[in-house]
Amino acid sequence: MRKQKVKRANRTWLTGFLGAYILMQFSWWAYLLIQQRQTIDELEGTSNATRYTFMILGEGSVFLGLLSLGFVAIWRGIRKERVQAQKERHFLLAVTHELKTPIAGTQLAIDSLKRHEWDEATKHELYNDATAGLSRLSQRVENILQSNRLVSGKAMNREPFDAEHIVNEAIKRQQTGPFQDRTIVLDTPEEAMGLVKGDADAMALAWGNLIENAFKYSPNDEPVNVEISQTSEVLHFAVDDGGNGIPANKRKLVLKKFERIEHTDTTGTGLGLYLAHQIIRMHGGNLTIDTSKRGGCRITTKIPIAS
């Protein structure tokens, strides 16, 4: 890692040095050409030096402008590459932590069941811990797989599914482990909802990520409100937590890959909101972030209902 940092730093300085050297050499050769023209005029008794000087300076200015734009583009590309590399390093560290934690918890629960005799209540609790760890692990792996799927440009499945059932499944997946005691208030319409055409697994992942974020970034004693409704054209899904919310100037940023809000106590890969946003977009919908009435974060998704 340290060698890579040194290599990138050397490449940056080498680019700057070469750019400065080329500009200096160009200036020197322009000066020599002008001096040579003045010498020729003195020997021939002509006065073309001024016109020749303006010609060199004009063409030189164009060349210097293009050269400068090229080096600026290279410099920005290098800086962008360094920022992206730093984000990917943070992502790998976060993924390592996010994968090791459920694995360790599951392994501990299984080892405890194997090595000791427990009463039925304790066994049930250990089984739940192991199941929760596997569920969290599955969610993390699915996030990574879906991210690669989006990068590769693979199309989503388009099959009819029951949105209310998928939302309940997403809640069930998330309300385990450290979040098993969290309260979710689910608001659904009284009348039966129709089927929605899309990728049920992808939508379960997207909505599950939003619910998990609500759990992560809100106090344990605050309920998470989940609302789902449907019109003849659009399916609405909203998650409302009781946390600190997302500042208005950060709301577009957190929808980008590997981006997270700084100075938070929770860990994450920076893929949750990004994947939710991309999946909703691939269904022809949109995701918006607002401030809830409780002062927390309210995320709303809308996807069109295919006829």
Is 63 or 234 the better-scoring residue by pLDDT? 234
Q: Which of 56, 88, 120 is the last residue of a domain?
A: 88
Mean pLDDT for the chain overall: 77
What's the token pair of residue 200? 């049920």
**Count of C-beta atoms within a 10 Å radius of residue 243:** 20
Q: Is the pLDDT of residue 240 over 80?
A: yes
Cβ-in-10-Å burial (0-12, 13-18, 19+) of 23 comes to middle
As a whole number of angstroms, the distance between CA 71 and CA 18 comes to 10
| CB atoms inside a 10 Å sphere around CB 287 | 20
pLDDT(297) > 80: yes
- Give yes or no: residues 271 and 202 share one domain: yes
Residue 96 lies in a domain: no
Beta strands in 38-171 (DSSP E): 159-161
Domain ranges, residue 143: 102-152
Output the furthest CA–CA distance in the chain (Å, rounded). 113
**Cβ burial, residue 210 (10 Å; 0-12/13-18/19+):** buried
Does residue 94 belong to any structural domain of this protein? no
Does 181 share its domain with 251? yes
Residues 6+ apart with CB under 8 A from 47: 41
pLDDT at 289 (0 to 100): 94
pLDDT bucket at 116, cuts 50 / 70 / 90: confident
Contacts 24+ apart (CB under 8 A), 115-119: none
pLDDT score recorded for residue 152: 55
| Element of type H or E holding 151 | helix 120-152
Q: At what angle do helices 163-174 and 120-152 cross, to 10 degrees?
A: 120
Q: What pLDDT score was predicted for residue 290? A: 93
Query: Do 38 and 163 reside in the same domain of the chain?
Result: no
> What are the DSSP E strand ranges found in the chain?
159-161, 184-187, 196-198, 224-230, 234-240, 286-291, 297-304
| 56, pLDDT greater than 90 | no
Residue 79 lies in a domain: yes
Bigger pLDDT: 141 vs 297: 297
Strongest mean pLDDT among 66-80, 137-151, 211-225, 252-266: 211-225
> What pLDDT does residue 150 have?
60
| Cα 86 from chain centroid (whole Å) | 13
At position 238, the amino acid (one-letter code) is A
Is 307's pLDDT higher than 50?
A: no
Same structural domain, 129 and 205:
no
State whether 164 and 122 are in the same domain.
no
Q: Say yes or no to pLDDT of 186 above 60.
A: yes
Which pLDDT value is given to residue 18? 74
